[in-house]
């Protein structure tokens, strides 16, 4: 035990709460390696001691309010540091703007040192303790985090734990022939074992990076590279890997990072004869990391990147008694939303949302319309079959529509990882361009611009109606359009995801203050909706949520109830006026206009929505919005 250690009493108290489980799981995973476990415990104390007094104050506050991140006032923004403001100091200089957007959750995309020509957008890390030089330093990161904290904002950062760059120190020493470092990866003398793996392990990028192994000429051996040949998979069966990677994670926490996004979480344990996805040991590793963070830096959250449907994602939350990830991405809803935009048919989205609403309230999802990545069509094709939609032709229809090739489509996207042989491809584009705003502005047709902006705002209203934390992709708050300049960059030209990873246009951002502009219309509408959401407890994560049947397959209906507040929300995914055939008896009022509105046969103009509210145990009255009034 650790009683004889000259450790701080607070650390000992925290460790004692988890010690038995920590030791049991660690010993089971690493075959009773006591020396490795003792090192792990000593390492945790080292990082506890290095934690600043200010961060320890945050830890105490969050321990006292463990659900601090679950409120209806949480709003995230996702950004690439270089695209948004050049470097970390630039982001810091724009915190007033970020705060004006209502954001209190800032997600910085990968910014640790990576080779420029083999970085995969920063996901091939060569040094987990150094910021990419052109983006700044670790001290800049800590200063940005401190400024964010002073404004009540938290900071999220990606932690790429499945692999390192082939330029990482460990990889370089492995290439030099040091067996200790080769043992931190998966090295094989010939293709015999790799070929056995290939029988059961799916390929991530079969067209652009086929196979799961690459030849390392420096040592004449084969190394596992699940994603790209320059990304070497780490061997978490080696306790040194787990110990040192956890230390790297805690070092980020000590620089002020509040939320650790665990990249490619399901992949981190490899075992021959399996798909090397979602193995039980993955959950053990995440649980160990969860406990380590609770001991060293409680209040730090783990966000799991698990790209699967909700039923398969849920195990990564762990249990109430033994939690793993605090939050997970709601990937399926994003894909289903754009499917609905293309088909104008809400039945799949309704089916998918029913699955999400059936989950326990303690599960917190991150919801978004667009992220840094492509849109993959991992839809429920078994469900779609009943409507005559089969996978390959339906994917083609979706991609044709959202790239502007479909009938009556103003969407402007581009394909990613197109595989004509399998009839498969993913999709890229900004929210505004996929909503048709780009094409409408190019044509200069006012009614089309109005229609595209209405769709954009309606989709954001849907995002804000969901339980969990809504996250904006930086630029979406002003309706930023696709950036086609990536075609001219030889490093980026083959990756169409850069279409929606363009630089923040600060001249356009200034137009948010000019009435009538696209930027002003979208920014103003989103801020109003976000502030309404923060005012009403019915948007809390703990609210009951359900699907309402409007007897119209163009309209999605959602109900919410919490603490005497009842919300009915309807979203018209058709470009034409539609009627939600409902007949609710209570007196309702429109949350946006404040005007009374009956919840009976509701007419919804094309691409519009309505939030209807009623309250119980209170007199019916228009809700005042002091925050809105102050900005008027």
Each residue of 88-128: pLDDT tens digit?
999 999 999 999 999 999 999 999 999 988 878 889 999 99
Q: CB 379: neighbour CB atoms within 10 A?
A: 20
- DSSP secondary structure code for residue 203 in this structure: P
How far is it, in rounded angstroms, from Cα 224 to Cα 233? 6
DSSP state letters, 335-360: HHHHHHHHH---HHHHHHHHHHHTS-
Lowest mean pLDDT among 300-314, 334-348, 362-376, 490-504: 300-314
- Helix ranges (DSSP H) in 185-279: 192-198, 239-253
Question: Quick check: 602 and 592 in contact, CB under 8 A?
Answer: no
The C-alpha angle with vertex 487 and arms to 485 and 490, in degrees rounded to 5, equals 115
Task: Output the six-digit token pair for 514.
Answer: 């000019």
Q: Residue 264: which residues within 8 A CB-CB, separation 6 or more?
A: 160, 161, 162, 163, 227, 305
**How is domain 542-631 classified at the architecture level of CATH?**
Sandwich (2.60)
Q: State the average pLDDT for the chain.
A: 94
How far is it, in rounded angstroms, from Cα 467 to Cα 361? 9
Mean pLDDT of 564-570: 97
Mean pLDDT of 59-72: 93
**Active-site residue 294, yes or no?**
no
How far is it, in rounded angstroms, from Cα 432 to Cα 458? 12
How far is it, in rounded angstroms, from Cα 384 to Cα 394? 9
**Active-site residue 96, yes or no?**
no
Relative to beta strand 163-165, strand 213-216 is unpaired
Q: Residue 52: which residues within 8 A CB-CB, separation 6 or more?
A: 254
pLDDT band at 618 (very low <50, low <70, confident <90, very high): low
pLDDT at 23: 97
Mean pLDDT of 26-52: 97
pLDDT at 205: 81
Lowest mean pLDDT among 10-24, 147-161, 165-179, 311-325: 311-325
How far is it, in rounded angstroms, from Cα 322 to Cα 308? 22
pLDDT at 622: 44
Residue 231: strand, helix, or coil: strand
Lowest mean pLDDT among 20-29, 50-59, 224-233, 414-423: 414-423
325-351 pLDDT, tens digit per residue, is 999 998 899 999 999 999 999 999 999
Question: Quick check: 337 and 459 in contact, CB under 8 A?
Answer: yes
pLDDT band at 420 (very low <50, low <70, confident <90, very high): confident
pLDDT band at 624 (very low <50, low <70, confident <90, very high): very low
Task: Output the six-digit token pair for 421.
Answer: 């042989």
Burial class (CB in 10 A: 0-12, 13-18, 19+), 210: exposed
| Percentage of residues in the chain having pLDDT higher than 90 | 88
pLDDT band at 310 (very low <50, low <70, confident <90, very high): low
pLDDT at 517: 98
Mean pLDDT of 275-281: 95
Statement: residue 448 has pLDDT above 50: yes
Through-space distance between the first and last CA atoms of the chain, rounded to whole angstroms: 62
Lowest mean pLDDT among 1-15, 360-374, 423-437, 439-453: 1-15
How far is it, in rounded angstroms, from Cα 21 to Cα 322? 10
Query: Strand pairing partners for 562?
Result: 565
Question: Quick check: 200 and 274 in contact, CB under 8 A?
Answer: yes
Query: Strand pairing partners for 77?
Result: 106, 472
pLDDT at 533: 97
Relative to beta strand 112-113, strand 163-165 is unpaired
pLDDT at 207: 74
**How is domain 163-233 classified at the architecture level of CATH?**
Alpha-Beta Complex (3.90)
Mean pLDDT of 535-553: 97
Q: Residue 326: which residues within 8 A CB-CB, separation 6 or more?
A: 69, 290, 301, 302, 303, 364
- Domain boundaries defined on the chain: 163-233, 542-631
Statement: residue 1 has pLDDT above 70: no
Q: Residue 334: which residues within 8 A CB-CB, separation 6 or more?
A: 367, 368, 369, 370, 371, 375
| Percentage of residues in the chain having pLDDT higher than 70 | 97
pLDDT band at 628 (very low <50, low <70, confident <90, very high): very low
Lowest mean pLDDT among 19-28, 299-308, 551-560: 299-308
Task: Output the six-digit token pair for 186.
Answer: 């998966």
DSSP state letters, 541-600: TTSEEEEE--S-TTEEEEEEEETTEEEEEEEE-SSS-EEEEEE--S--EETTT--B--SE
The C-alpha angle with vertex 77 and arms to 457 and 287, in degrees rounded to 5, equals 125
How far is it, in rounded angstroms, from Cα 127 to Cα 115? 10
Task: Please provide residue 3's backbone torsions phi and psi, each rounded to the nearest 5 degrees.
Answer: -60, -30
Statement: residue 627 has pLDDT above 50: no
Task: Please provide residue 301's backbone torsions phi and psi, each rounded to the nearest 5 degrees.
Answer: -110, 150
Task: Write down the catalytic residue from 113, 305, 324, 476.
Answer: 305
As a dihedral over the C-alpha atoms of residue 157, residue 163, residue 166, residue 171, rounded to 10 degrees, the angle is: 110
Task: Write down the catalytic residue from 258, 263, 294, 324.
Answer: 263
pLDDT at 2: 73
347-375 pLDDT, tens digit per residue, is 999 999 999 999 888 899 999 999 999 99
pTM reported for the whole predicted model: 0.93
- Sheet containing strand 555-562, edge to edge, reads 544-548, 555-562, 565-572, 609-615, 589-590
pLDDT band at 632 (very low <50, low <70, confident <90, very high): very low
Relative to beta strand 424-428, strand 414-419 is antiparallel
Task: Output the six-digit token pair for 36.
Answer: 């490795």
How far is it, in rounded angstroms, from Cα 261 to Cα 158? 5
Query: Strand pairing partners for 603?
Result: 579
pLDDT at 631: 31
């Amino acid at each position: 035990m650790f009683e004889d250690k000259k450790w701080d009493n607070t650390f000992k108290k925290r460790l004692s709460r988890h010690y038995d489980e920590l030791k049991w799981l660690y010993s089971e995973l690493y075959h009773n390696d006591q020396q490795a476990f003792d090192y792990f415990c000593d390492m945790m104390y080292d990082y506890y001691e290095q934690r600043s007094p200010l961060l320890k104050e945050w830890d105490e506050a969050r321990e006292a309010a463990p659900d601090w991140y679950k409120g209806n006032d949480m709003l995230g923004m996702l950004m690439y540091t270089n695209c948004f403001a050049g470097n970390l100091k630039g982001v810091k200089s724009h915190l007033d703007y970020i705060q004006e957007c209502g954001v209190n959750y800032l997600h910085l995309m990968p910014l640790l040192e990576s080779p420029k020509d083999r970085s995969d957008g920063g996901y091939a890390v060569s040094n987990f303790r150094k910021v990419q030089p052109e983006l700044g330093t670790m001290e800049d990161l800590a200063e940005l985090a401190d400024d964010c904290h002073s404004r009540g904002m938290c900071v999220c950062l990606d932690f790429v734990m499945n692999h390192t760059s082939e330029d990482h120190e460990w990889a370089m020493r492995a290439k030099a022939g040091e067996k200790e470092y080769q043992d931190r990866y998966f090295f094989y003398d010939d293709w015999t074992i790799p070929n056995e793996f290939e029988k059961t392990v799916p390929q991530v990028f079969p067209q652009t990076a086929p196979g799961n192994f690459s030849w390392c000429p420096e040592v004449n051996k084969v190394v596992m590279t699940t994603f790209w040949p320059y990304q070497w998979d780490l061997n978490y069966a080696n306790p040194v890997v787990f110990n040192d990677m956890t230390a790297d994670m805690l070092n980020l926490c000590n620089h002020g990072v509040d939320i650790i996004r665990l990249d490619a979480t399901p992949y981190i344990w490899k075992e021959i004869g399996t798909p090397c996805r979602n193995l039980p040991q993955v959950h053990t590793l995440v649980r160990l990391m969860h406990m380590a963070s609770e001991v060293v830096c409680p209040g730090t959250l783990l966000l799991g990147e698990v790209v699967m449907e909700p039923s398969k994602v849920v195990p990564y939350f762990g249990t109430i008694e033994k939690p793993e990830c605090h939050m997970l991405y709601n990937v399926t809803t994003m894909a289903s939303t754009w499917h609905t935009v293309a088909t104008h048919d809400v039945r799949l989205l309704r089916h998918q949302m029913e699955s999400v609403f059936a989950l326990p309230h303690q599960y917190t999802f991150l919801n978004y319309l667009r992220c840094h990545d492509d849109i993959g069509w991992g839809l429920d094709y078994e469900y779609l079959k009943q409507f005559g939609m089969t996978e390959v032709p339906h994917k083609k229809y979706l991609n044709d529509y959202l790239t502007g090739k479909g009938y009556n489509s103003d969407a402007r996207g581009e394909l990613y990882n197109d595989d004509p042989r399998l009839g498969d491809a993913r999709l890229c584009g900004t929210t505004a361009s996929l909503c048709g705003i780009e094409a409408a502005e190019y044509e200069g047709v006012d009614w089309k611009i109005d229609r595209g902006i209405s769709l954009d705002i309606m989709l954001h209203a849907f995002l804000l109606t969901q339980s969990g934390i809504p996250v904006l992709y930086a630029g979406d708050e002003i309706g930023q359009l696709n950036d086609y300049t990536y075609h001219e960059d030889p490093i980026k030209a083959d990756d169409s995801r850069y279409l929606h990873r363009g630089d923040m246009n600060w001249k356009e951002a200034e137009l948010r203050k000019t009435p009538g502009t696209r930027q002003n219309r979208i920014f103003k509408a989103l801020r109003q909706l976000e502030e309404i959401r923060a005012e009403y407890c019915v948007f809390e994560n703990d609210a009951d949520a359900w699907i309402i049947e409007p007897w119209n397959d163009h309209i999605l209906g959602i109900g919410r109830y919490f603490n005497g507040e009842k919300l009915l929300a309807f979203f018209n995914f058709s470009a034409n006026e539609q009627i939600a055939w409902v007949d609710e008896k209570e007196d309702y009022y429109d949350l946006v206009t404040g005007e009374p509105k009956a919840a009976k046969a509701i007419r919804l103009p094309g691409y519009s929505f309505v939030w209807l509210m009623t309250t119980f145990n209170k007199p019916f009255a228009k809700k005042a919005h002091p925050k809105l009034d102050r900005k008027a």
